[in-house]
């Protein structure tokens, strides 16, 4: 991963398939660049490979129109996957796959063997929500809520630290860059003390393999708190940042 998204450089003719989140990579928030999209598609075509596009939060884009699906570049080589885990609830286990014709039989067989079926009642309920426009209205409503929360989070962090959140204005989380892995652990520990659960790139196992010299950041989710608890969560985060004295320096972040 870099500022242009996932890097296809390590793919080989023997790789077979690659899983991507081109619209909004988690946790970095990077959008896959047009050039990289072309490189991945070229690899799939020349090496008889497949790309699996996981559009896990495409409904939530706050600074413009949603990013176009990678699948449109080569429907014969790209599987488009989506779900309602972020928009409704993960417990529903409802999702969808747009599968190339050559994969439909093996994918269907694999789902049957693995018990990947979902209750017909829940499927029909979702279909009814979509048909009546209720699902679209729900997404529009919560998108407004999350857009406001992200803006409030950015304002609070900026006022206290002078720092800007990292990542596209989309999804349900943002990154707050930090000076080091040790500073990240200090903030998480202080958060636990005041009753605020925080996640970090290093402390939460996002770095593979672990590398304490790699950039550190808090992964700040703004969708989880209930409406009555959102203000308190922001206040607690402010207390944590003030207690640890996080500030933006002339050459970047530093304690």
Residue 219 contacts residue 175 (beta carbons within 8 Å): yes
pLDDT of residue 246: 75
Tell me, what's the pLDDT at 192? 93
Class of domain 137-254: alpha beta
Question: From the first residue on, what is the mean pLDDT of each consecutive set of 10 residues in the chain (255 residues)?
Answer: 91 94 92 95 94 92 85 95 91 90 93 84 94 96 95 94 91 93 93 93 87 90 92 94 74 42
Domain with CATH 3.90.1150.10 in the chain: 137-254
Burial label, 14 (beta-carbon count in 10 A; 0-12, 13-18, 19+)? exposed
57, two tokens: 């939060």
How buried is 210 (Cβ within 10 angstroms: 0-12 exposed, 13-18 middle, 19+ buried)? Answer: exposed
Q: Which architecture characterizes domain 8-132 according to CATH?
A: 3-Layer(aba) Sandwich (3.40)
Enumerate the β-bridge partners of residue 249. 252
Question: What's residue 65's pLDDT?
Answer: 75
Q: Which residues contact 164 (CB under 8 A, 6 or more apart)?
A: 154, 157, 158
Could you report the per-residue pLDDT of 154-199, keeping only the tens digit for each?
A: 999 999 989 999 989 999 999 999 999 999 999 999 999 999 999 9
Predicted pLDDT of residue 211: 86
Range(s) for CATH 3.40.640.10 in the chain? 8-132
């Amino acid at each position: 991963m870099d500022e242009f998204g996932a890097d296809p450089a390590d793919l080989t003719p023997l790789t077979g398939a690659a899983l991507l989140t081109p619209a909004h990579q988690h946790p970095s928030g990077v959008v896959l660049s047009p050039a990289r999209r072309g490189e991945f598609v070229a690899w799939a075509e020349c090496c008889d490979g497949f790309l699996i596009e996981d559009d896990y939060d495409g409904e939530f884009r706050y600074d413009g129109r949603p990013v176009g699906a990678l699948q449109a570049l080569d429907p014969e080589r790209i599987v488009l996957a989506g779900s309602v885990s972020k928009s409704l609830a993960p417990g529903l286990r409802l999702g969808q796959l747009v599968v190339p014709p050559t994969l439909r039989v093996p994918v269907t067989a694999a789902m049957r063997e693995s018990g990947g079926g979902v209750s017909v009642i829940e499927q029909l309920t979702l279909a009814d929500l979509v048909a009546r426009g209720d699902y679209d209205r729900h997404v529009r409503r919560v998108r407004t809520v999350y857009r406001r929360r992200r803006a409030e989070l950015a304002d609070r962090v900026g006022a206290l630290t002078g720092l800007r959140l990292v990542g596209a204005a989309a999804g349900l989380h943002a990154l707050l860059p930090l000076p080091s892995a040790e500073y990240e652990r200090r903030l998480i520990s202080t958060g636990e003390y005041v009753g605020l659960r925080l996640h970090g790139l290093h402390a939460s196992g996002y770095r593979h393999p672990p590398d304490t010299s790699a950039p550190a950041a808090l992964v700040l989710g703004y969708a989880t708190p209930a409406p009555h608890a959102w203000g308190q969560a922001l206040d607690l985060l402010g207390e944590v940042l003030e207690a640890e004295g996080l500030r933006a320096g002339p050459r970047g972040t530093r304690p």
